[in-house]
Structure formats: C-alpha cells, structure tokens
Amino acid sequence: MTTTPKVAVIGLGNIGQAVAANLSKSNRSFIAADRNAEKAKSLSSQWGESAQTEDIPSAVKNADIVVLAIPFGAITGFIKEFKADLEGKIIVDPSNPIAPDEKGGFKKIIGEKESAGEINADSLPKNAHLVKAFGTLGAASLAGAAYQTPEKAVLFYANDDEETNGTIEQLITDSGFDPIRIGGLDQAIRIEVFGDLHEYGALGKVVTKTEAIAKL
C-alpha cells in the first residue's frame, strides 16, 4: 500500500494561502503552519477538512514535503534551524530573490547568474532534496489560474532528484495545474523572477502545456 506524502505549507502569506486553497479544492490534506498561530487557525477554517493547523516545529516534523512559502532571505536560516527535522524530506522552494528597487519595480538581490534555488539547496541537511516550484507565477495567477479550463495552466519545476519527480508532479496536479519539469536545480534560474519561463520574466504570462512546450 502506498500512502500520499504529507505536505506542510509553511508561511501563510500570499503564496502560502494560494497553495493551501488550491490543495483544498482537490481534497489533498495538508498541514497549514504560520508563526502567527491565530492567523493559521482562522485561515484553515476556510480550507475545510483538508487543512490541519500545527505550529511550525510540529509541521516540519510531521510532513514529508515542506513548502517553504516564506521570503528568500528567511529560507537559509529556516533550513539551519530545522535541519534535523528536515533530514530526508522534500523542501519545495517558491522563493524569488528580489527586493524593491528605487524606481518602484524590483531588482534581483543575488548575482545575475545565481538562482535562489541553488543557494537555498546549499544549506540542506543529509538526504533532503530541494525542489524549485510554485514560484513561477505571481500569487494572483497562482490563485486565479488553478483548475483553469478547458486546458490547465502549467507550473514549471526544477528538481535534481528524479525519483521524487512523481511526488512533485502529484502535488502540482493536486493544486490544479499541469506540471512540467524543466531540468535539475541548475535550471532554477529560468523559473525565478526575470527568468525566461517566469510570468514576470520573458514568458510574461500564464501558459498552458501546449504553449509551454513551444517555449522549452
């Protein structure tokens, strides 16, 4: 018998709430965790029986897949703090390494050729895998384009560990999108902001599988 891996969504801001709401629509159960426990509890009531609220340390301990929907600048510290409990797990990283610029837009805060995914993966404990996913679209599109008809929208992901591709693809499917793997983490830069496969990069929009394949 195979069991569905338990997913925890950590950080219930714009992206965390969209991921949680999308999972609840397919009845995929998940743990919702935020450093503000009251916020987590009240949001979870909107997501019905799929959502179970836990504090962050328990959520990390009890999950097989940890979606870290927290700012890029907080991820390395988070991984270090929870290193022991993240061992052997899948960490899903939607982060974009950006900050407001002086002109009302955004600028990249790491080297031009660097990706947040590769930087974050450097802090991982033994046997843990970081998958870059769920950050390819802005939060409004992640919420609004889920379960799109007649053709589903795509979420790209980058993963070094081919054995876990199926697990990630199921998670993306359970979120109402079609998954497309673009390669290993050395490709993560393509699906972060300013990348050629990001909504806020050369791609410029939400795409279906047919449109996405033409871009790859």
Write out the residues near ligand NAP by the rule CB under 6 A.
11-16, 34-36, 69-72, 74, 78, 94-96, 135, 138-139
| SS3 label, residue 208 | strand
Residue nearest ligand NAP by beta-carbon distance: 13
In the complex, minimum distance from the CB of residue 64 to ligand NAP, in angstroms, rounded to a whole number: 19
In the complex, minimum distance from the CB of residue 26 to ligand NAP, in angstroms, rounded to a whole number: 21
* Residue 53 token pair: 């609220």
The span from the CA of 110 to the CA of 193, in Å, is 12
In the complex, minimum distance from the CB of residue 206 to ligand NAP, in angstroms, rounded to a whole number: 12
In the complex, minimum distance from the CB of residue 134 to ligand NAP, in angstroms, rounded to a whole number: 7
In the complex, minimum distance from the CB of residue 116 to ligand NAP, in angstroms, rounded to a whole number: 8
Nearer to ligand NAP, 100 or 150 (CB): 100
CA-CA-CA-CA torsion for 153, 116, 130, 121, nearest 10 degrees? 170
The single-letter DSSP state of residue 209 is H
| SS3 label, residue 157 | strand
CB of 64 closer than 8 Å to CB of 39: no
Nearer to ligand NAP, 116 or 128 (CB): 116
Nearer to ligand NAP, 27 or 140 (CB): 140
The span from the CA of 96 to the CA of 72, in Å, is 6
Burial bucket for residue 53 (CB in 10 Å: 0-12, 13-18, 19+): buried
Nearer to ligand NAP, 35 or 210 (CB): 35
Nearer to ligand NAP, 4 or 95 (CB): 95
